[in-house]
Structures are given as C-alpha cells and as structure tokens.
Structure 1
Amino acid sequence: MPSREEILNAKILVVDDSADNVDLMLEILREAGYTDVSSTMLPEQVCPLHRQHCYDLILLDLQMPGLNGFQVMKGLKEIEQGGYLPVLALTAQPSFKIAALEAGARDFISKPFDLMEVHKRIHNMLEVRLLYKELAQYSRQQQELALHDPLTSLPNRRLLEDRIATVLQHATRQQSKAAVMYLDLDGFKAINDTHGHAYGDEILKLVAQRLVGCSRKEDTVARVGGDEFVIVMGNIAHVADTQEPANKLIEAVSQPYQVNGLTLQLSTSIGIGIFPDDAHEVAALIAAADGALYEAKRSGKNRSCTAQATQGQVPQHHTMSATPA
C-alpha cells in the first residue's frame, strides 16, 4: 500500500471556475499536508496539463462555462485509455452525482464542502490511484522481463521474432533485403568448464556490449540462449552488405576479455540468412542462418558463412585464436 508520505506528495489539480472555491480547496489541501497542489480556472487547460504532469488526482467542478466537467472527462478518458481516470467530481447538484460516475469519475464531493468528507474521499482516491500506478509499473516490469534476457538485458527469442517480423514487413514494402546473423561463441564452453559459470556470465555480458557497440542503432541484438546471439539487419541492398558488419563483429568478439584479473579470449562463428533470398518467413529465415552457422563451425570456426555459401560458395573467414588465455 502507498505510504502516508507518498499520498501527501501526490500531484493534485483543482479545477473550478470560482476563485473562492479554488482558494478554499487549496487551503483545505495544504492544511492537510498535501505538498504538490496546483489549480486552474480554465477547463480547456485540464487535458494539456494532465498530459504534461500526469496528475494523481483531479478535483473537477462539473458546472463550468465553456467546457463543462463532463466534456473535460471525455478528453481525459482519451489520455487515460485503459487506465484509471483520477477524477473526483465536485458538484452542488445531487442529480449530477450518478451522471458523474457514469461519465468516468471515480467519486464525488458535494458542495458546500463537508471537511471530513473532503479529507476522506481525497485520501481514499489517492490511495487507490497510487496503488493502481504501482501495479501498472509492476506489470510493465514483468512484461520487460518476459521479453528480455535477464543476464544481458538484450531482447530474448520472443521479442526477437517480433522484431524480425517487423523488419521483414518493412523490407517487403521497400523492396529491399534484410539479414539475420546467428552467432555462436567459439571456446566459451572451455571458459565455463575451466573458470566456472560466474566467469562465463561476465563474458556473455561483455560480448553483448561489444555486439551492441558494433551494430547500427536500428539493428536488433538478441540473446537466444546459452552463448548464442542473433543480430537483425534491415535496409540492405545486397548479400555483400553483411560482410563488413560480420567482419567487425568477429574482430570485436575476438579481443581479449579482462575478468577478475584474468585475461580470457574466444571467437565467434556467424551464420547469415538473407530475406527474401533464403527464406520469406521468420522461422525459416532463422533456420537458414542457423544452418549457415553450422557450416561456419564445420569449416573451422571464427568465420562467417551465408546460407548461400552452403550451396557451394566459399565461407568468408578470419584467422584468430579461439583458445582461452
């Protein structure tokens, strides 16, 4: 549950066309200890202000010239789509109370104000609003965890497949090509077996950083399991456009790693699948890249190989040590 301090620090907006009513409500709130309170007498300002400040509570008068409270709530609902509308309606008309709730207000306060009622309804609404925000934040965090690798924070296979699908759609519209690079680390098992999984985990995090550093901002770098990574490239014109990026990745991964005072070294093999040359669907393109990776491994490791190379072309390669130091 939200703490008393969190409730008193919540963002509150008072909306009323009467200066006396605004002053009274501001005084009530400040005397109660609320620290972040603002007001407006212009109903057309409410939605822009809420977009900017994301209020935890809006005390909204229903009867105002120009836009009335019901029209304001309609605009607020567009901002808070699927969310909790933080509106506490202020009204002197008993008949407006039910209408306000039906329009989206979470509660109401009757005019003239009863001090105990005001304090209780404001506190209760803020408690619920802040709890709702906590749950929404937790839900977002859970979604992030479900789509990202917990060790490296890179996208996982689930998010990767969605990113590939998006890249393929874009390539189809632009009549261009896209590439999936499937990477596997050469020599990683030896590091794990010799120095333990803690060292292996540090290597994986460092490799992830190097792969991201070598890739374009628009590319997706994902970890799909163990010591396997995938990089998705869009907006390429020819298969040859993947060779320089692949060489950069091979060179970057092969540089020594400093982990807890030890110097460790490994390399990477890369298989490359091209859309639409090798496959038209996400799963098939990943499989094509995986098959090319197998060929790169079989041909000596520490090199890249396109899916087309498995049909008779010579794999491209660098000669670098894959032996841990």
Structure 2
Amino acid sequence: MLTPRVLVVNDDPATLLALQTLLADAAERDGYEIVCAHSGEDALREVLQREFAVILLDVKMPGIDGFETAEAIHSHPRSAAVPIIFTTVYSGDDFNRLKAYQSGAADYLLMPVIPQVLQTKVSVFVEMAKNRLELQAKTQALEVLNRDLRVQQMRELKRINAALEAEIVERRRAEQRAQDLATRDPLTRLPNRRSLIERLEHAIAHASRHNECLALLFLDLDKFKAINDTLGHEAGDELLIQVATRIASCLREEDMVARLGGDEFVVLLENLPDATHAAVVAHKIVHAVAAIERIGEHAISTSTSIGISLFPGDGADMQTLMKHADLAMYRAKKQQRGSIRFFRRAMNPAVVPGQD
C-alpha cells in the first residue's frame, strides 16, 4: 500500500459513522485512508485484501466478536503484526480489558472517546506505517541503482540496514512478549492450557519409552463463584493468585502446575514410584488451599476438590487422561467437597459438571 489505511470495524452504523467523522480531518491532514467494516466477517475480508496501519475493532459484535476477529487477524502471517485498538461502550469491564490485551491489543478505548485521544493514537501507528513504507520504498529504489551510483548505494544501504536491524530487534522483543502472553496465564503467571498440553504430550511420550508412571491432578475450587460474586473480582483474582502459590509450594521442582482458566488448575506429576505419591501430593494441596482464611480484609472459607488419573492405567493419551481426571474431580466435588478421588472405570461417564 502506498497510502496507509486505517480499518474501522463496528456493527452499529451510528458509532461507525461517528468514528469515521472523528478521524476524517486527521486522515486528510496526516495522509491516510479510512476503510469501514460492519462486522468481524467484513473486517477479515478487508484484511485479506489489503494492508492496514491500525485497526479500530469493536468488542461486542454479532457473529464473531472483536476478540475472535482479532485472533483470526493475528493468526494470518500477513496481518500478524497489525496493531489493534479495541473500542467498547461497556465501561468498567476489567475482564474484557484483560482479555483484549491477552488477544494482543495495542490499546483499549471506552466510547465515547475524546477526539484528540483517538486521533493521536491512530496517528502514532500511521506514522510507523509511513516510516515502514518509506523504508520499503528506499530498499526497492536501491535495487535499481546502476553501477555509477554504487558508492552512494552502499552508503544508503548501510543506513537502511541499521534501521532494519533496529526494527528486527524490536520485533524480536515484541515476539518474546507475545510468546509470554501465549504460554503464561497473565493473572497467576502459571503456564496456561497450551503450555500444559505441550508438556503433557512430551511427558506421556517419555513415560511410555521408559515404562514410567505419571499422574494428572485436576483441581477445582469450591465456593469460588460465591466468593467472586460476594467480594468482587479483585478478591477472586487475589484468591486465585494465593491458590496458585500454595499449589506450587506442594510440588517438586520437576512437577508442573498450570491454570486452565477460571478456578481450574491442573498438576502434572512425572516419574512417580506409585499412585500413593499422587495421593500424598493431592492431600498436601487440599490442606494448603483450606488454610487460606483471608483475602485482604475479608475472612473466607474455601477448599479444592481434586480428581486424579494415572498413566498408563487410566489413559494412554493426553485427551483421555484429562477427561478422566476431570471426571474424577467432579465425582469428588459431588460426593464431598474438599476431597480427592482417583478415576475408576466404574465412574458414571454421564456425570455432568455442576455449579460451585
């Protein structure tokens, strides 16, 4: 693209027009083109056809919402680095704000937005796009220079290479930040589901080759929803952080604890001598979590129910072990909260997860 483009995505025609109007003068002044889309699907089609300096993306949309649209945009190599600014009329929604930054958002704006703020944020990315375009144009120009301009060409090439190296360094830093977001739970800093799956698949392969036993502990906090609803999300988040710390304190250095999301945690124990060790660790975790008595100024009472599946007896693959540990956990929660249960073949597979 010769002129930077800004994509504005919003399913509400009035809001879309308002955003377009707010940017119109700045677009003429700064030299960029505004492209509008009425849905996530329309936005994806635009991104596949053209390049954009920045995307203003509505959070709440019918069909695919803003978060799903952002994930699809960043999953495509061509648009993986396009900055996205989420816009929403829902104020005070910290969960969506966190989810936006987890989705790779460059910013998160509440509507109605101050015109100068919106214009300034967009202009920053437009200027970056212009610099990138200028760099690309100069690089292309160097390719057509003749021999008589070789000395001048080499000087210019050195300058451009220095700029490219600086850009590469910054890109690597951004990729490292993105990698951290992709593999770590942003609240507890524990490995997330993706990291757990990769580690578990590797552990199963290793245990299979060496005829070893491993255990998967599926944990779910009891009464978490009530605590979250009564004391608020900040207290709920603090409880999850304390639980993560206490679980980790019960494990060996080579063990792994991951947060799947919500109030669900999974512990992976490798190279076990027998099933008794898994039970010992599970009981330590139960006691450690039950010892949490306060969140800030609030007195609380909570516990954790744990289901355990063993490799290879309860499953030879990751999906089966996860399913069986999950089933055992819900059986423990149903029979006695704050207890542990090993998976048994006789367990009713129709057990349906209930509420906290």
What TM-score, normalized by structure 2, do the two folds share?
0.53
Question: Is 2:297 the partner of 1:261?
Answer: yes
- Give CA-to-partner distance per residue, 1:154-191, whole Å, 9 cap, x none: 12212211111111111112211111000000121111
Structure 2 equivalent of residue 124 of structure 1: 160
Distance 1:288 1:189 in 2: 24
Aligned-residue offset at 1:258 = 3.4
Distance 2:347 2:164 in 1: 63
Structure 1 equivalent of residue 110 of structure 2: none
| Residue pairs, 1:185-204, within 5 angstroms | 185-204=221-240
- Larger gyration radius, structure 1 or structure 2: 1
Aligned-residue offset at 1:264 = 2.2
Question: Is 2:314 the partner of 1:278?
Answer: yes
Distance 2:200 2:250 in 1: 19
Structure 2 equivalent of residue 306 of structure 1: 342
Question: Is 2:273 the partner of 1:237?
Answer: yes
Distance 1:273 1:190, change over 3 A: same
Q: Which amino acid aligns with 1:135?
A: R
- From 271, 288, 291, the equivalent of 1:252 is 288
Distance 1:231 1:117, change over 3 A: same
Question: Is 2:205 the partner of 1:169?
Answer: yes
Structure 2 equivalent of residue 215 of structure 1: 251
| Residue pairs, 1:1-325, within 5 angstroms | 121-308=157-344
Give 3-state SS (helix, strand or coil) of 1:221's partner.
Answer: strand
Would you say the 8 A contact 1:256–1:263 is kept in 2?
no
Give 3-state SS (helix, strand or coil) of 2:241's partner.
Answer: helix
Distance 1:218 1:310 in 2: 32
Aligned-residue offset at 1:311 = 5.3
Distance 2:226 2:314 in 1: 33
Distance 1:257 1:239 in 2: 30
Aligned-residue offset at 1:218 = 1.2
Distance 1:215 1:309, change over 3 A: farther
Distance 1:308 1:237 in 2: 20
Distance 2:212 2:266 in 1: 20
Distance 1:151 1:310, change over 3 A: farther
RMSD: 2.5
Runs of 5+ in structure 2 lacking a partner? 1-150, 349-356
- Give CA-to-partner distance per residue, 1:127-150, whole Å, 9 cap, x none: 211210111121122122122222
Give 3-state SS (helix, strand or coil) of 1:248's partner.
Answer: helix
